[in-house]
Amino acid sequence: MTQPFSKTRNSNKSTSKSNKSTGFGNAAGNKLAGSAKAQARSSKPHNRVDNKTRAKPKTVANPVIVLFNKPFDVLCQFTDEQGRKTLKDFIPIPGVYAAGRLDRDSEGLLLLTNDGKLQSQITEPKKKTYKTYWAQVEGKPTEADLEKLRQGVELKDGMTLPAQINIMHKPEIWDRTPPIRERANIPTTWLEIQICEGRNRQVRRMTAHIGFPTLRLIRYKIGQWSLDDLQNGDYRQLDMKNKPV
């Protein structure tokens, strides 16, 4: 790489001397050196992984799907160094992992599976798998308030997609331990909210954005799967023989 520059110096001594005082000789040499280095770098193989070549989630021969009605104050993981309650305290089935998450202070449906393709389908926003939540909020939102969520609202991490939301009667559900803190002079309202995103604490942030903080949050449905009569703290393993996922 240094040979062309040596040859130039030997054959053009007078030119080099005249340029030395102005700095043009050094600038030209640096420019040529930089160009050569850039060409050398471009010719080297790189280790970047193209999105198109990433490994696709694998489909297993014998898929396992477990529906779990997660209680309040349970982590969506199987281990915890701090000794808090985890999935291990409720689900003895090996090889399954949560498809998506449910906050520690939220309750309801959690889907676990050993099928990577199904996990991807549920967790990727572009797949648009709808989740249905029952949210008990403080106060009495009007239709005008709810319309803001139907149109999408601006949160710190960007605009939300339009939500499907309606006021509902209080559902017949289990008691929470501990119970929520209700203020005697402020009523509460139950909302049914359907979204296809999965941002961190999204439903809570959405209701707080329009002025009605969520006191209790229960996920009732994920795609085609729902709680139905599954009791809080119980799980159900689905029979997937000859059934498409």
Residue 104 CB contacts under 8 Å (≥ 6 apart), including other chains: 73, 74, 75, 76, 84
Q: What is the spatial distance between Cα 56 and Cα 52, in angstroms, rounded to a whole number? A: 9
Q: Where are the alpha helices (DSSP H) in the chain?
A: 3-11, 13-22, 24-43, 116-123, 143-151, 202-209
Q: Give the pLDDT of residue 45.
A: 47
Rounded to two decimals, what is the model's pTM? 0.74
CA dihedral 200, 205, 206, 207 (to 10 degrees): 140
Active site residue 105: no
Q: How far is CA 146 from CA 126, 214, 223, 232, in A?
A: 24, 14, 23, 29
CA dihedral 217, 223, 227, 229 (to 10 degrees): 150
Structure tokens at 32: 């040529």
- Could you tell me if 111 and 65 are in contact, meaning their C-beta atoms sit under 8 angstroms apart? yes
Please tell me whether residue 13 adopts helix, strand or coil conformation. Answer: helix
Q: Give the pLDDT of residue 122.
A: 80
Q: What is the spatial distance between Cα 62 and Cα 69, in angstroms, rounded to a whole number? A: 23
Residues 167, 138, 187, CA angle at the centre, nearest 5°? 85
Q: What is the spatial distance between Cα 130 and Cα 78, in angstroms, rounded to a whole number? A: 25
Q: Give the pLDDT of residue 32.
A: 47
**Cis-peptide into 178, omega within 30 deg:** yes
> What's the average pLDDT block by block, 10 residues per block, for the chain (245 residues)?
42 44 48 50 48 59 92 96 96 92 96 89 79 97 97 94 96 94 90 92 97 98 94 91 54
Q: Give the pLDDT of residue 17.
A: 43
Rg (CA), the chain: 30
**Residue tagged active-site, from 73, 89, 103, 145:** 103
In 3D space, the residue among 131, 174, 166, 168 whose CA is nearest the CA of residue 150 turns out to be 166
Exposure string (b/e) for 142-181, b if CB count within 10 Å is 16 or more? eeebbebbeeeeeeeeeebeebebeeeeeeebeebeeeee
Exposure string (b/e) for 101-133, b if CB count within 10 Å is 16 or more? ebbeebbbbbbbbbbbebbebbeeeeeebebbb
The residue count for the chain = 245
Q: Give the pLDDT of residue 123.
A: 76
Q: Where are the alpha helices (DSSP H) in 124-201?
A: 143-151
Q: Give the pLDDT of residue 25.
A: 47
